[in-house]
Amino acid sequence: MKRRRFSTIPSLIDDLLARYERNPGASRLIAPIDDDGFANIDLRDAFDEDLATLEREGGIERIYAGPKTERVVTGVRLKNAEMLYRRSGRHPAGQMAIEAVSGLRGRDGWPDGAIHLIDKVAEAWGRGVSHIGIPIGDVRMLEHAIRLAIAVHDRMSGALQDEQDFRTFSRLAAGDSKALERNIRQVSTIFQQIFTADEEQVRLDPEELLGSVGVRRLPQPILLHGAVSLDGQPFPAIPYIGIPADCVGNVRLSAKPDYVLTIENFTSFVRHVREIAGRERALVIYSGGFPSRATRETIVRLGSEAHAPTFHWGDMDAGGVRIFRHLERHLDRCGVRLRPHLMDAELLRRVGSVAPANRPMGDLEGSAIAGLADLIVRTGLIHEQEEFDPQSPLMCKA
């Protein structure tokens, strides 16, 4: 990269101090002179006089080139940063960073992890760089992101709550309805840094993490097909029903299904219900991509009640594997073994196509999806479930 060159004293001092702040231990910080940057000889003479003054005051050392009788100044070397701070009136970035976050750091009730994060942000700002995407000096953004991360943790660790849309959640947690949408990646990163995230949570993308605690861009009803009732009242015979998340706890099976099937993508859910499940005694639940906490708990509860073979059908890619593994873990705790449907290595070898690198999928030891995950990692093959026609899990031979 071509080094910047300077023809004004303020820009030269700012560059030296900025690089000093990024690396205070550097011993050879040099600023070259831009010989072509002077409009006339008078400006160059005045510039050289100012450099001589800075050298006499101890702030810099001039660097010369050429024979003794024709030596010219080609650059300067930083000697004393404190002198340049005084000369320019600039305050050290570290001092400004500490002052900027002091009020935030002193708030009551922050978890210890939040204080540690604030200190890391201030340290980075003191070196003239941003941290986890928080721009230098943007204390408001930092505060919003911390408050939102704490609110995510509260929903995850507390009792099951109603689903919320992004803007309502953001307004209640941070006092700004758009803060979550603006800072969603920072919120996810801060959550993982402040709290002890488990291996599965670390591998979730920001929207998956928020969805797992019931925070979505717009709360979605839980869609399902099968013989179920709400408060003892059966539903009419329609292809599928949508139940608000805050009511789904009162849904019960009204007849034992022959199988339970969760489906990742909406198109495949609708097609399976219309083309297959209507002729069978099936309980089919739309997971909505990565399932929210309410959806997951509905799947676990009804799956446990069903005492029937239980399957999941999703994309054969890293995201599909993570969704399967998430459901598999929670169902396993209730004694329900989850089986993949139209998701296996042999099938992927036949129909898959190579895609960009997949994200890590976590610990899959003992998982029914481990063979498929291994093939995805080794070959880069993936396949979207919508490209398959739906098949009955009871009849499917893959």
Q: pLDDT of 146-199, one tens digit each?
A: 999 999 999 988 777 778 899 999 999 999 999 999 999 999 999 988 887 666
Output the pTM of the full model. 0.62
* pLDDT band, very low/low/confident/very high, at 2 (cuts 50, 70, 90): low
Range scoring the smallest mean pLDDT among 79-93, 159-173, 218-232: 79-93
What is the Cα–Cα distance from 273 to 260, expressed in whole angstroms?
12
| Predicted pLDDT of residue 67 | 82
Q: How do residues 320-335 score in pLDDT, each as one tens digit? A: 999 999 999 999 999 9
Region of poorest pLDDT, from 249-258, 329-338, 349-358: 349-358
Taking residue 268's Cβ as centre, other Cβ atoms within 10 Å add up to 22
β-bridge mates for residue 49, sequence order: none
Please check whether residues 245 and 106 belong to one and the same domain: no
Residues 101 and 55 in one domain: no
Quote the pLDDT of residue 281: 94
Burial status of residue 212 (CB atoms within 10 A of its CB: 0-12, 13-18, 19 or more) = buried
Note whether residue 43 is domain-resident: yes
Tokens 């160059």 sit at which residue? 44
Among 216, 246, 276, the domain-final residue is 216
C-alpha distances (whole Å) from 3 to each of 6, 31, 81 are 10, 8, 20
**Total count of residues recorded for the chain:** 398
Question: 365 and 280, same structural domain?
Answer: yes
Domain identity same for 272 and 183? no
Asked which of 15-24, 260-269, 320-329 is least confident by mean pLDDT, the reply is 15-24
Q: Do 190 and 278 belong to one domain? A: no
Rounded to whole angstroms, what are the CA distances from 89 to 13, 31, 50, 60, 149? 11, 19, 16, 16, 38
Residue 15 included in any domain: yes
329 and 229 fall within a common domain: yes
If you average pLDDT over residues 98-103, what whole number do you get? Answer: 78
Are residues 156 and 269 located together in one domain of the fold?
Answer: no
Reported as a pLDDT band with limits 50, 70 and 90, residue 398 is very low
**Per residue in 273-315, pLDDT tens?**
999 998 999 999 999 888 988 899 999 999 999 999 999 999 9
Domain of 82 in residue numbering reads as 9-88
* Residue 299: CA count within 13 A, CB half-sphere: 35
pLDDT at residue 190, rounded to an integer: 92
Kindly report the number of other CB atoms within 10 A of residue 248's CB atom. 19
Is residue 1, in this structure, part of any structural domain at all?
no
- pLDDT over 90 for what percent of the chain? 46
**Residue after which a domain boundary falls, among 170, 186, 216:** 216
What pLDDT score does 263 carry?
Answer: 97
Confidence check: pLDDT of 100 > 80:
no
**Residue 65 domain-assigned (yes or no):** yes
Query: 309 with 172, same domain?
Result: no
Number of domains in the chain: 3
Choosing from 52, 70, 88, the residue where a domain stops is 88
Check residue 255 and give its pLDDT: 93
Encode pLDDT of 362-387 as tens digits. 778 889 999 999 999 899 899 999 99
Domain membership of residue 396 (yes or no) is no
- Between CA 334 and CA 44 the distance in angstroms is 81
Mean pLDDT of the chain: 88
CATH number for 339 = 3.40.1360.10
pLDDT, position 197 = 65
- The confidence score (pLDDT) of residue 70 equals 78
Residues 6+ apart with CB under 8 A from 252: 228, 229, 232, 305
Q: In this predicted structure, what is the pLDDT of residue 96?
A: 66
On the question of pLDDT at 397 being above 60, the answer is no
Residues 212 and 264 in one domain: no
**Together in a domain, 283 and 202:** no
Residues 123-148 have a mean pLDDT of 86
Q: Is 21 a domain residue? A: yes
Are 233 and 282 part of one and the same domain? Answer: yes
Verify that 160 and 231 share a domain, yes or no: no
